[in-house]
Structure formats: structure tokens, C-alpha cells
A and B are shown apart, each in its own frame.
Chain A
């Protein structure tokens, strides 16, 4: 009894989804985290709260709203249909969008903490040395917040691999497109195929443990998101 071809396809899909989500979130999340770390705007509170929502909302809420808004009668669905893309539920792209929302706080918050920890001083020094904003970002901010980026990447990736509710509500369980490991485990349990469920579930447990072990063992990491 080992993993079937369907199980392996689910694992591959989960890894692809998590990797792409992490890349997208680093691109989108870095400017958001930078703004949250530096701004004195009154909007800081509301924006921070919106980013953190997936931490407390059940994934079913996110999944339900995405299903409705990305459907043919929803705002996003009408837009994507007008652009000739069709609707997004039951597609890999749809899952990717759901995952970006779902894992956003796990990437933005560690980055924000790292940016806040840098403080004003190094930026002022860089400015007196006539470094432009981009120059400052790449030569001062990035190296100083390296551990924040590592934490953000690991947490974003791992959290997306562990995603279940959003995928279940948006995916339609299509092999190779939307059937991820967590859904496949659910399927096995529902079908009373406990042996197969154990292989995948045990694998997830070991994977998650080692991801967190790597994270918590690195000297620079301070536990907690806040």
C-alpha cells in the first residue's frame, strides 16, 4: 500500500499552488507590508484589519464569497467573462486567487514586523548618503529584513499547502486541476479508505512538523506573528 497516481497528482498540485501563491504574495505583500510599517495614515488600522481577516474567518466564509463573486452573476465573474477569461471557480487560477487572500496575513505580517524593526535610522543614513528609494530598498531594507522574508515565505507556503476549506468550496474536486492533498485526504476519509488517508495525512503531519521545526530552530526567528 503506497501512494496512488491520483495521490501523487494531488501532492504535485498542492506544491505548485503553494509555490505560485508564495511568489505572488511576496510581490503583492511586500509593498503592502512596507506601507503598513511606514505609514502614519488613519487607514493603517482598517487595511491591517482587512489583511488579518483570514486569520479569524472560517475558510468557508472566504470560499463562499469567492464562489459567489467569481460566479457568472458576481462582480468579478462578470469582469472575467467580459475579458474573455470565463469564470474562475473550478480552475487553478481561481484557487490561486483564493489562496492569495487566504495566506496573505502569513506573508504580510512577518514582513511588516521586519520592516518596523529596521526603524528610521538606517533609512536616514542611506538618504544622507544620497541613496534613492529603490537603492535604499535593495541595499539596506532587503538585507536587514532577510529573516522576515524567509519567515514569510515559509509560512505562506506551508499555510497554502494546508489550505482546505477554500479549495473545497471553489474547486469542484477536478483531478490535476483543483484536487489538492487536503481535499484528497478528505475524500479518502469520506470513502472509508483509511489506509490511503493515513499515508497522505501522515505525510502532511511530518511535512508540517519539519517546516515549523526549520522555522523555530533558526536563531533569528521570534515566535508568533504579532
Chain B
């Protein structure tokens, strides 16, 4: 056997052995706004640990309903802090596993360059037809948007022009397709590598709305799964933090 082939066989054997001893699967439920960062984090985690991450994405409320009805999720990354807190009081999680993995930032965004100014004066001018927000009852970013509008004293003025997405992804979609001239979306949706990736935006000062804490928990189904604990540890580590910040979240 030539040396390179034997190295390959040895490597294959080792990885197979590693697979038999350590690798496990972890099923996670992730709020839609965190789709891109978790994909990047999961890929790096899989490479580092040999575990496999199987992710389902959806609105936080919808995922909550699925968890309450026996969905096979082991780790839950919510878009708010109240849903994980609720699961904790209901005894659905590994006690003490709740932590904040990211703090969301709100941005007023338009797909057209130069439409939104750096101070958000475009809201006061009120010359648009549609302002897109997430449903304030179900989407934390939607709730934050209504807080900003209230702070600016514009709640009543823009009310007839509000269109609601069921979640922040749909709120973004309405703006991206141009059907709404502008909308309040998650900074993470329009931010890549340290800057706004297209259109024009006003990053809303954080004192204008309640912090959008996104909490994660290990659910009861995952309390004996080493891969679930390993993923949560990785999520708290510096490598994941760098990815999370690169998508425009705070920590």
C-alpha cells in the first residue's frame, strides 16, 4: 500500500471510529431571524465536534406550540426572552439552561438607496404608502417597532399605512419586493460583514425600544444528549460570538 493511500485509510478509520463513539445528532428549533447565523455556527460546530445539527426554523410562537405538543426539539433558540421563560415556568426545559445568546437591533430599512435618512426623518415626512412591521403581538421586532413609533409620537399618523408580516422575515419580504417603501426589520436581515448590505437604513437608537433579548434553552428532550450541551457551550464561546456580531446582533 502506498503511503498516501494508507494515510487515507487510517483517517477514514479514525473518523469512522470517532463517529461510533462520540457523534450524536441534536435537533434544534430556531427563530426565523437567526437562520443565517445559526447555519454558519452549526457548520463550524459540526466540523469541530463531529456532532450533527438538524435545525427547524419558524416563528417563535409557532415553535412554542410545537414544543408544547411533543415536537422532538432538544435546543430552542427563540426570538424573545418571554417564550423561553414561559417554557421554564412550565417545566419544559433543563433547569438553569436559559441564557441570552443575542440581542437584536431594530433598523428602519428601504430597498431603495437614499430613501431612508440617517435620522429617520422619513417617518415624520410621512410621504410613503406602506410601512411594514412584524406583527407586534407575535414578533418581538414588531413590538419594538410600535414602541419606536410611540416614542416618536407617530403611532396614530402612520396607523393607516401599517402592513404586518406574520414574522420579521415577511416584514422584510414586503420591503424587499418594493410593495412597502420602508419597514422596521431586524438589523441582522440587512447587515453583512459590518455594514448595511443594500438599500438605505436608519439604525434605531437602542434607548427607543425595549431590548430584544433572544434567549436559548435546552429542552427536556435534550437534557441527556451530550450534543445538545456541546452546542450550547459552543454557542456561548468566542467563535460563535464573532459570527453573531458579524450579523449585526449585540451580545
Contacts and interface: CB of A to CB of B under 8 A. Distances in A.
Our verdict on whether A and B bind, yes or no, reads yes
Interface of A: 67-68, 70-73, 86-87, 89-90, 168-169, 172-174, 186-187, 189-192
Interface string B33-62: 000000000000000000000000001011
A219 B146 CA distance: 55
Interface string B55-78: 000010110110000000000000
A90 B62 contact: no
Contacts of B132: 172
B179 A89 contact: yes
Given A172-B165, A174-B162, A190-B61, 14 more contacts: A67-B177, A73-B177, A87-B179, A172-B132, A172-B174, A187-B138, A189-B62, A189-B65, A190-B59, A190-B62, A190-B65, A190-B138, A192-B61, A192-B64
Contacts, number: 60
Contacts of B177: 67-68, 71, 73
Contacts of A90: 130, 163, 179-180
Contacts of B62: 189-190
B121 to A, nearest CB: 22
Interface residues of B, number: 23
Contact of A186 (B162, B166, B180): B166
A172 B179 CA distance: 10
Contacts of B130: 90, 172
Kindly name the residue among A67, A87, A172 whose own CB sees the greatest number of chain B CB atoms within 10 A.
A172
A172 B137 CA distance: 14
